[in-house]
Amino acid sequence: DIQMTQSPSSLSASVGDRVTITCQASQDINNYLNWYQQKPGKAPNLLISDASNLETGVPSRFSGSGSGTYFTFTITSLQPEDVATYYCQQYDNLSVTFGGGTKVKIK
Amino acid sequence: EVQLVESGGGLVQPGRSLRLSCAASGFIFNDYAMHWVRQTPGKGLEWVSGISWDSDNIVYADSVKGRFTISRDNAKNSLYLQMNSLRAEDTALYYCAKVWTFKTVFDIWGQGTMVTVSS
């Protein structure tokens, strides 16, 4: 099974800061990597698909990049409403794995 | 409105069974594969199982293989998860989720149904 190592597990940043989360796959997953945002008490919400495709309606301050085994998720200017836990998710053939999540807080 | 509504969760003793249901509306259910994803309280997401639109392809996480069975009834726009031999570590909020055609991108999620396995 493909393992996804997401880091950091939590971070605290100021409003306006640039925030970066990484996700590393245990083997090449091409660009089959998605990013989700989950706010407390809510289901996850798809932000980015296939490593870098921003979903319709998602603010442009969110972005993703990478391919193969290393991926990054960036919030260019952190806003109060971005407080949430973010998850990466890979899909390769019939396998699906989530990263452990990154809890983003405001300093 | 596209919607998934799970039901069937509850408190169950270890070793017993439970069947979860997910009612879909607002989209052509039989066009899409469907999955179950669970989340332990305060912890991360764990994929559980997936089923193709026509039920021909079914996959399970190793942690539930042999104990859980996923199925669907396209005539009823419904997805199911039969959970047998439940363990304490199966305690979680269970989400059903719709994926894109040809790609396992979870674009629609239900609100989840809580399963607690305890004596």
Tally Cβ neighbours within 10 Å of residue B26: 11
**Nearest of A45, A38, A13 to residue A100 by alpha carbon:** A38
Decide if B50 contacts B35 (C-beta within 8 A): yes
What's the pLDDT at B43? Answer: 85
What whole-number distance in Å separates Cα of residue A42 and Cα of residue A30? 30
A86 touches chain B (CB under 8 A): no
The answer to whether residue B5 neighbours chain A at the CB level (below 8 Å) is no
Q: What pLDDT, in 10s, does the model give residues A13-69?
A: 999 999 999 999 999 999 999 999 999 999 999 999 999 999 999 999 999 999 999
Give contacts of B50 with chain A, Cβ < 8 Å. 94, 96
pLDDT along chain B (119 residues), means of 10: 97 98 97 97 92 95 97 98 98 97 93 97
In angstroms, the separation between the Cα of residue A78 and the nearest Cα of chain B is 22
The CA distance from B86 to A48, in Å, is: 34
pLDDT of residue A62: 98
Average pLDDT, chain A: 96
Closest by CA position to B48, among listed B33, B57, B59, B32? B59
CA distance A34 to B89: 26
Q: What is the pLDDT of residue A93?
A: 67
